[in-house]
Amino acid sequence: PESLYLLQAWLPAGARMEMRRLYSSKADGHSFNRLCHHLVGYRGPTLVLFQDSLGRIAGVVHHADWRDAPSYQGDEGTLLLTLAPRFS
């Protein structure tokens, strides 16, 4: 979609590539367990977007492999972002 194309322009250069859907709550279920099932073990850059019941949208760009670990994952290349609401 056009919005995804526009979003890619704001991503770090290493994350700009052909994208494919790994998980959708509509298609794959609404639990965190289902999200993890589809992400853990995936190798490569990932853009994850979340929308809450109030319409707020946030996301993360993660460059490392997704793994099941009890601690923080990410590095200096990990990016947290907010798409809505827009803050001035």
Instruction: Give yes or no for residue 27 having a pLDDT over 90.
Output: yes
What token pair was written down for 56?
């707020």
Whether the CB-CB separation of 19 and 59 falls below 8 Å is answered with: no
What pLDDT, on a 0 to 100 scale, did the predictor assign at position 15? 66
Cα angle value 15/21/26 (rounded, 5°): 135
Instruction: Give yes or no for residue 16 having a pLDDT over 60.
Output: yes
Q: How many CB atoms lie within 10 A of CB 62?
A: 22
What pLDDT, on a 0 to 100 scale, did the predictor assign at position 88? 65
